[in-house]
Amino acid sequence: MHMNKTSVADLAVFGGLPAFAETLHVGRPNIGHQERFLSRVGDLLERRWLTNNGPFVKELEAKIASLLGVKHCICMCNGTVALEIATRALELRGEVIIPSFTFVATAHALQWQEITPVFCDVDSQTHNIDPRKVEALITPRTTGIIGVHTWGRGCDALALTEIARRRGLRLMFDASHAFACSYQGRSVGSFGDAEVFSFHATKFFNTFEGGAVVTNDDRLAERARLMKNFGFAGLDNVIYIGTNGKMSEVSAAMGLTNLESLDEFIAINRRNHGRYRLGLEGLPGISLIGYEESERANFQYVIVEVEDTVSGISRDELVRILHAENVRARRYFHPGCHRMEPYRSYFPHAGLLLPETERLTTRVMSLPNGTAVGESDIQVICDLIRFVIENAEAIRSRMA
């Protein structure tokens, strides 16, 4: 056990656990074949074509559309701008129903355009928006619903589609976590009016920064394309309000390279997830969320729920200890969008309608995964957690 001076609980006094010399993060990027990436960078420099719908972006868009089985993929500079453009292209306004248990970008993309996000609770098992709670939130100002496929597990797209159809609402998905995943055997990307991906460095599939809107709707695709390029429909011809949402060629080069390694990324993530499952098995108050065997998953997220009345230690205490031991576990999505500004000022009592969200934001933590994480790392992380749970009482009294 290393004697980490910053260690909250000073676990060293309890006896010999191995240590991490280097910090293990949640969110270390998955990186494909480096030489192929560098060769593509050489090509784009030779071409002197760096951005503005270059050949790599076009190739990436075609490959993603084909992989997901959708008609259109429009790559963008990041997932947040892709969300903003998709909501604008869909003409959402007034109020849009979203889960609060998501990364704050889902809400901000709406509020940035003065659309009010109305927070819906999630299902305790799936962590996804609960369709049974959506209808009660619909008002005459509601124009759409955005489901989030949290942790890459598809949200109940069928129930949401039924509600959206019946109530005349647009339906979108924030699929930032769910690249290369399926729901009910169908590829994520093909549900609703449009789906949006983030290709941020921390995501399963990354383009450094990046994102995409995918859709089967020709008109919507056309509008999103115009909007990401200032509304230019040809030289000197602006026909629409737009922004700069373009993906650069170097990002697309990274995307093309990483696309060639998706199977390898999934295999490593899946193996790692299995190691965590074995390592955490039987630990009281610790449950690892699983992925459906019948679906295609990217296994990028290792999500643990901590039930402190059983484990003897709270999620926050456990995260503090892991940090002190150089494991940068994260409390995604703490404290929930409704407890962040400006939403907590706008809706100070939102939590009353979000009991499951409130519960999950105090219990869930995300552990390191991805191709940068090895089996022996996972063994040590699990041993550490096991050690903390088995000595919870003594450790807590030292932390007090």
Taking CB under 6 A as the binding criterion, the range among 73-81, 137-145, 217-225, 285-293 that sits at the site for ligand T4K is 73-81
Instruction: Please report whether residue 176 would count as binding ligand T4K according to CB under 6 A.
Output: yes
> Which of residues 72, 200, 273, 275 is near ligand T4K by CB under 6 A?
200
CB of 203 to ligand T4K, least distance (A): 7
Kindly tell me which residue out of 37, 103, 265, 387 binds ligand T4K, with binding defined by CB under 6 A.
103
Query: Residue 272 Cβ, how far from ligand T4K at the closest point, in Å?
Result: 16
Which of 61, 84, 130, 174 touches ligand T4K (CB under 6 A)?
174
The site string for ligand T4K over 321-340 (x = CB under 6 A, - otherwise) reads -------x---x--------
In the complex with ligand T4K, the residue whose CB is nearer, 183 or 311, is 183
Which listed residue (148, 221, 318, 329) binds ligand T4K by CB under 6 A? 148
Alpha carbon distance 107, 232 (integer Å):
28
Closest contact distance (angstroms) between CB of 206 and ligand T4K is 8
25 binds ligand T4K (CB under 6 A): yes
Query: Contact between 29 and ligand T4K (CB under 6 A)?
Result: yes
Q: Which residue has the tokens 């892709």?
A: 82
Q: Nearest distance from residue 335's CB to ligand T4K, in Å?
A: 14
C-beta of residue 236 within 8 angstroms of C-beta of residue 184: no
Q: Which of 11, 24, 26, 297 binds ligand T4K (CB under 6 A)?
A: 26
Nearest distance in Å: CB 220, ligand T4K: 19
Q: Which residue type is seen at 238?
A: V
Of 304, 102, 300, 270, give the one whose Cα is nearest residue 205.
300
- Nearest distance in Å: CB 78, ligand T4K: 4
φ and ψ at residue 357, rounded to 5 degrees: -60, -45
Q: Which residue is nearest to ligand T4K (CB)?
A: 27
| Residue nearer to ligand T4K on the CB measure, 204 or 347 | 204
Nearest one of 164, 138, 153 to 293, comparing CA atoms: 153
* Candidate ranges 42-50, 196-204, 214-222, 310-318; the one touching ligand T4K (CB under 6 A): 196-204
Q: Name residues contacting ligand T4K, limited to 205-244 (CB under 6 A).
A: 211
- Residue 363 Cβ vs ligand T4K, minimum distance, rounded to whole Å: 17
Minimum CB separation of residue 97 from ligand T4K in Å reads: 16
* Shortest distance, position 175 Cβ to ligand T4K, whole Å: 8
If binding means CB under 6 A, how many residues of this protein chain bind ligand T4K? 23
Region of 21-29, 38-46, 335-343, 384-392 interacting with ligand T4K (CB under 6 A): 21-29
| SS3 track for the chain | CCCCCCCCCCHHHHCCCCCCCCCEECCCCCCCCHHHHHHHHHHHHHHCCCCCCCHHHHHHHHHHHHHHCCCEEEEECCHHHHHHHHHHHCCCCCEEEEECCCCCHHHHHHHCCCCEEEEECECCCCCCECHHHCHHHCCCCEEEEEEECHHHCCCCHHHHHHHHHHHCCEEEEECCCCCCCEECCEECCCCCCEEEEECCCCCCCCCCCCEEEEECCHHHHHHHHHHCECCECCCCCECCCCCECCCCHHHHHHHHHHHCCHHHHHHHHHHHHHHHHHHHCCCCCEEECCCCCCCCCCCCCEEEEECHHHHCCCHHHHHHHHHHCCEECECCCCCCHHHCCCHHHHCCCHHHHCHHHHHHHHHEEEECCCCCCCHHHHHHHHHHHHHHHHCHHHHHHHHC
Q: Which is nearer to ligand T4K, 78 or 261 (CB)?
A: 78
| Binding interface with ligand T4K (CB under 6 A) | 25-29, 78-80, 102-103, 105-106, 148, 174, 176-177, 198, 200-202, 211, 328, 332
